[in-house]
Structure 1
Amino acid sequence: MSSTNEPEQYPGTWGAITTKHFHPNTHECYGVIHGRSELVFGLGGADAVEGDSGNYEGVRVTVAVGDVIVVPAGVAHASVQNDRDYKYIGVYPEGSPKWRSEWGKRELNGIDDPLFDEIKGVPFPRCDPVFGADGPLRKVWGEVLTK
């Protein structure tokens, strides 16, 4: 991941971020370099807590050393369980603004909220963060968007 994109990205190394958040201004790519973590996607800061009957609990994925995850702009995410030594490298698409976190604590004004416009305005990634221009990300992402 680093050899493909590091010179043109905003690299950073983090441990577990347990507060649910999302980035409205850029996509994010994680490369796990130590330990394991269970991540939750799609569950915002104002959403009901886990276990409330009938409430959406997000999508949970366990990641470990060597795993790479691409999180589209606007998708809430957090680490819900992790090893003490869990660490990942975060990179962002070339030309992206510095990431900004939103915590999902304010009520949005429906689909007309300016935050939705900001998220929709984030450009489609130009390349796959692992395999470069010929990698599968653009094809897979495009297929999902057309469904």
Structure 2
Amino acid sequence: MVANIDRLRAERFYDDGTFPNSSLPLLFYEEALPRGAASPEQMEALFAANGWPPAWRASIFTYHHYHSTAHETLGVVLGSARLMLGGPEGREFDVEPGDVIIIPAGVAHRRLDSSSDFLVVGCYPLGQDWDLLRGQPGERPHADHNIARVPVPKTDPVGGADGPLIRHWR
């Protein structure tokens, strides 16, 4: 299945003093896979074909959190949700099956509300392992040091080696 890379939004979220966020833009692919074809298997196949091994199937935590050791991709496969991206000072996003969000290391995210069947496939670039930070006192500057060391992925989980991530993150 060919993914749609035409409906891409690049969103920037900057350090708010608690959440580091990132100078790299968060990438939001609206309907990367057609709504009716966004099964867990199809999303996992898309990510795996582009060098981002699928890591889990679940929902999204309801508290603000971020990862300082990995970039994360979320592919919505069932249900719908409203997410807060960028921490408490960030912005709300509505997501539906087929949507994909690529979250740079350091960018806070949480689920505000969702349908009871909401399901996401999550993945990370090959070789990156995630941690879980909540913006607690004492996390930084260690988290900042980690974020600065996370390499830019070699591929875009939706668009592959020539995908938009490469242009936006280099």
Q: TM-score range by the shorter chain?
A: 0.7 to 0.9
User: 3-state SS of the aligned residue for 2:81?
Assistant: strand
**Deviation for aligned residue 1:8:** 5.5
Asked if 1:124 corresponds to 2:166, the answer is no
In 1, the alpha carbon distance for the partners of 2:157 and 2:86 equals: 22
Aligned length: 126
> What TM-score, normalized by structure 1, do the two folds share?
0.78
In 1, the alpha carbon distance for the partners of 2:134 and 2:70 equals: 15
CA contact (8 A) 2:52 2:123 kept: no
Of residues 19, 23, 30, the one that matches 2:74 is 30
**Residues 28-67 of structure 1 aligned to structure 2 (within 5 Å):** 28-43=72-87, 57-67=89-99
Note the alpha carbon deviations across 1:54-100, whole angstroms, 9 max, x for none: xxx31111110000000000111000111111110000001112x11
Of residues 90, 105, 114, the one that matches 2:136 is 105
**Residues 86-105 of structure 1 aligned to structure 2 (within 5 Å):** 86-97=118-129, 99-105=130-136
Asked if 1:3 corresponds to 2:45, the answer is yes
**Deviation for aligned residue 1:107:** 4.8
User: 3-state SS of the aligned residue for 2:158?
Assistant: coil
> What TM-score, normalized by structure 2, do the two folds share?
0.68
**Residues 70-85 of structure 1 aligned to structure 2 (within 5 Å):** 70-85=102-117
Higher strand proportion: 2
Structure 1 segments (4+ residues) deviating >6 Å: none
CA contact (8 A) 1:21 1:77 kept: yes
In 2, the alpha carbon distance for the partners of 1:93 and 1:33 equals: 19
In 1, the alpha carbon distance for the partners of 2:139 and 2:56 equals: 30
RMSD across aligned C-alpha pairs, in angstroms?
1.8
User: 3-state SS of the aligned residue for 2:82?
Assistant: strand
**Deviation for aligned residue 1:37:** 0.8
User: 3-state SS of the aligned residue for 2:101?
Assistant: strand
In 2, the alpha carbon distance for the partners of 1:115 and 1:141 equals: 20
In 2, the alpha carbon distance for the partners of 1:15 and 1:130 equals: 20
Q: Percent identity?
A: 36
Of residues 33, 41, 61, the one that matches 1:17 is 61
Note the alpha carbon deviations across 1:28-73, whole angstroms, 9 max, x for none: 0000000111111111xxx6xxxxxxxxx31111110000000000
* Counterpart residue number, 2:30: none
Label 1:15 to 1:61 Cα distance change in 2 as closer, same or farther (>3 A): same
Unaligned segments of structure 2, at least 5 residues: 1-42
